[in-house]
Chains A and B, each alone.
Chain A
Amino acid sequence: MKNYELQDIPQPNLIENIFPYSLPPLIKFEGKIQETIDGKTVEFDPNEVKTRDIHITDTTFRDGQQARPPYKKEQMVKLYEMLSRLGGPNGVIRQSEFFLYTKNDRETIDACRNLNLKFPEITGWIRANKGDFRLVKEMGLKETGMLTSSSDYHIFHKQNQTRKQAMDQYVEVVEAALEAGIRPRCHLEDITRADLPGFVFPFVQRLERLTEKQPDNMKVKIRLCDTMGFGLSYPNAAEPRSIPKLIWRLRNECGVTPDRLEWHGHNDFHKVHINGASAWIYGLNALNGTLFGFGERCGNPPLEGAIIEYIALKGSLSGINLPVITEMVEYYEKEIGTHLASNYPFVGKDFNTTRAGIHAGGLRKFEQIYNIFDTTTLLNRPPRVSITDKSGTDGVALWVNDFLGLKGEERLSVMKVAKIQRWVMDQYEVGGRMSSITDEELEEQVKINLPEYYKQHHRN
């Protein structure tokens, strides 16, 4: 047994090399990850992610829109513009895919293109048939995704085809794309439930042979679609659910380079974000996501979560404009009329709001105790406290000081807000209240009990 001695130090060790506060907490690795494939140990170097060109691709307007009422054209154009600002000049949000089927879809693409933004690049999405391919050509897109379902659930039971018929049909459309100078991106639907050696790998190898003489910017891309969220990031999980094994085989046995591999997840088993992040770490470059995780059934990888993960993995903002996330959620609420769960990470109304008095006390003393990172600077969202019978006088003091904008020595003590706290407690103990105290009610109490401060606040 190793003996650990207490290190009674005069100053706290805040482990700031991992928790810098000025950035989301950093993700650091201390060694290689091992996986058993065909009885042999293979290694992944997670630190490779720091130098690899990992990025995010967006499907807010495709998969994200399949699960909700359609966006209006002007809403999509505004969101596209915000995606561009969020991802920054380095193209951390590299591409965004659009439907091409309706007049509105096509007009939206034109309007987005008219903004002349470098990122995200607009790509299309079609079913794998030649008729649909005409739409891509007409829109003059350089790349399109195409549905190439890969499990027998889809091939046999949805498409009523044999594996050979399905593969031949997919390849025919890929060939048509190449012929027209459009880069094909094959969406291998349901890959985590597919017969990998019996269909997926032969199909990918055929695609590789087909494009081996093409220039790099025309080689086929492979999107790994975890359509039902069955993928597992756990080391040594069995195929076909294993994400590490899938990526390793595609890279090492099929010859697909990381820049041509993309992960597209679903959240049916609460694994959507970690699966996407793991796919980055296990060796592919593109993580496909949607704003706030909107998507079919339980949703897709939340794009804003991927952005935070990107910063944590890379250790810098890399040109990302994080406060745009807050702008986006305000736009969804005010202009689109979509409200997110209040406890939704990074953007929900209460994501950095505490209700517990003991947490409020901690926040008052040293914000970092109960705030995940500097959300004020990075997201324009200062930590807040919601007042209930559990938030204590510390909570009221925190709320009042934030409301009055008092800093440092100016901040009012718990004694100065004791009358407000008494009023709060009476709401519950005398009045039997069951809901939180609203900001408006608290403002009224400040007006009554701290009139001089209230007047000063309004003068400012």
Chain B
Amino acid sequence: MTRQEIAERVTKVTARELRRNIAEIRESDQFAMELGADSLKSIELVAAFEEEFNLNLVEEEALKVQSVGGAIDFFDKIINKK
């Protein structure tokens, strides 16, 4: 999967879970600060990423990801085993 495909899916899931307009979401956006995810919403978002990419993530690592761009890099690294 290319980074572009991963980015599209991360953005789509983020918009759906955090109830945002997909066009407004930037890679630089922080889930908590810019997109308003509280602690439970952040966990639900990671759970949604797990479903989207059919992965079982390590909790400590997954919850460290703070931004949209960080999430794209995180999944790019896992999926493409960089």
- Least CB distance, A212 to chain B, in whole angstroms: 72
Please tell me if A415 contacts chain B, counting CB pairs below 8 Å: yes
- Least CB distance, A269 to chain B, in whole angstroms: 44
Note all chain B residues with C-beta closer than 8 A to A416.
Answer: 47
- Least CB distance, A426 to chain B, in whole angstroms: 11
Whether B40 pairs with A415 at a CB distance below 8 angstroms is no
Compute how far the CA of A393 lies from the CA of B59 in the bound complex, rounded to whole angstroms.
12
- Least CB distance, B10 to chain A, in whole angstroms: 15
Note all chain A residues with C-beta closer than 8 A to B58.
Answer: 413
Please tell me if B32 contacts chain A, counting CB pairs below 8 Å: no
- Least CB distance, A202 to chain B, in whole angstroms: 70
Whether A413 pairs with B40 at a CB distance below 8 angstroms is no
The residue on A at minimum CB distance from B56 is A413
Note all chain B residues with C-beta closer than 8 A to A414.
Answer: 43, 59, 63
Please tell me if A425 contacts chain B, counting CB pairs below 8 Å: yes
Note all chain A residues with C-beta closer than 8 A to B46.
Answer: 415
Note all chain A residues with C-beta closer than 8 A to B39.
Answer: 392-393
Please tell me if B50 contacts chain A, counting CB pairs below 8 Å: yes
1/0 contact string of B52-72 vs chain A (CB within 8 Å): 000011110011000000000
Note all chain A residues with C-beta closer than 8 A to B34.
Answer: none
1/0 contact string of B34-54 vs chain A (CB within 8 Å): 000001100110110010000
1/0 contact string of A379-422 vs chain B (CB within 8 Å): 00000000000001100000000000000000001111011011
Interface size class of B (residues with CB under 8 A): 10 to 19
A421 touches which of B40, B56, B57, B63 (Cβ 8 Å): B40
Compute how far the CA of A421 lies from the CA of B40 in the bound complex, rounded to whole angstroms.
8
The residue on A at minimum CB distance from B58 is A413
Note all chain B residues with C-beta closer than 8 A to A421.
Answer: 40, 43
- Least CB distance, B21 to chain A, in whole angstroms: 23
- Least CB distance, B80 to chain A, in whole angstroms: 22
- Least CB distance, A192 to chain B, in whole angstroms: 53
- Least CB distance, B67 to chain A, in whole angstroms: 18
- Beyond A393-B39, A415-B50, is A422–B59 a contact (Cβ under 8 Å)? no
Whether B44 pairs with A422 at a CB distance below 8 angstroms is yes
Whether A418 pairs with B44 at a CB distance below 8 angstroms is yes
Note all chain B residues with C-beta closer than 8 A to A393.
Answer: 39-40, 43
| A413, A422, A425 interface centre (most CB from chain B within 10 Å) | A413
Whether A418 pairs with B40 at a CB distance below 8 angstroms is yes
Compute how far the CA of A122 lies from the CA of B38 in the bound complex, rounded to whole angstroms.
63
Whether A413 pairs with B44 at a CB distance below 8 angstroms is no
- Give A409-448 interface residues, CB cut-off 8 Å to B: 413-416, 418-419, 421-422, 425
Compute how far the CA of A393 lies from the CA of B40 in the bound complex, rounded to whole angstroms.
7
| B43, B57, B58 interface centre (most CB from chain A within 10 Å) | B43
1/0 contact string of A343-368 vs chain B (CB within 8 Å): 00000000000000000000000000
- Least CB distance, B2 to chain A, in whole angstroms: 25
Compute how far the CA of A421 lies from the CA of B44 in the bound complex, rounded to whole angstroms.
9
- Least CB distance, A456 to chain B, in whole angstroms: 16
Note all chain A residues with C-beta closer than 8 A to B43.
Answer: 393, 414-415, 418, 421
Compute how far the CA of A419 lies from the CA of B50 in the bound complex, rounded to whole angstroms.
13
- Least CB distance, B47 to chain A, in whole angstroms: 4
Note all chain B residues with C-beta closer than 8 A to A392.
Answer: 39
Note all chain A residues with C-beta closer than 8 A to B47.
Answer: 415-416, 418-419
- Least CB distance, A201 to chain B, in whole angstroms: 66
1/0 contact string of A130-143 vs chain B (CB within 8 Å): 00000000000000
- Least CB distance, A253 to chain B, in whole angstroms: 65
Note all chain B residues with C-beta closer than 8 A to A413.
Answer: 56-59, 62
Note all chain A residues with C-beta closer than 8 A to B40.
Answer: 393, 418, 421-422, 425
Compute how far the CA of A382 lies from the CA of B11 in the bound complex, rounded to whole angstroms.
42
- Least CB distance, A418 to chain B, in whole angstroms: 5
Compute how far the CA of A124 lies from the CA of B5 in the bound complex, rounded to whole angstroms.
85
Compute how far the CA of A422 lies from the CA of B39 in the bound complex, rounded to whole angstroms.
11
The residue on A at minimum CB distance from B50 is A415
Note all chain A residues with C-beta closer than 8 A to B63.
Answer: 414
A sample of 20 cross-chain residue pairs with beta-carbon separation below 8 angstroms, ordered by A number, consists of: A392-B39, A393-B39, A393-B43, A413-B56, A413-B58, A413-B62, A414-B63, A415-B43, A415-B46, A415-B47, A415-B50, A415-B57, A415-B59, A416-B47, A418-B43, A418-B47, A419-B47, A421-B40, A421-B43, A425-B40
Top 9 A-B pairs ranked by shortest CB distance? A415-B47, A413-B59, A418-B47, A418-B44, A418-B43, A415-B46, A414-B43, A393-B43, A415-B50
- With A393-B40, A414-B43 given, name 6 new contacts (CB 8 A): A418-B44, A418-B47, A421-B40, A421-B43, A422-B40, A422-B44
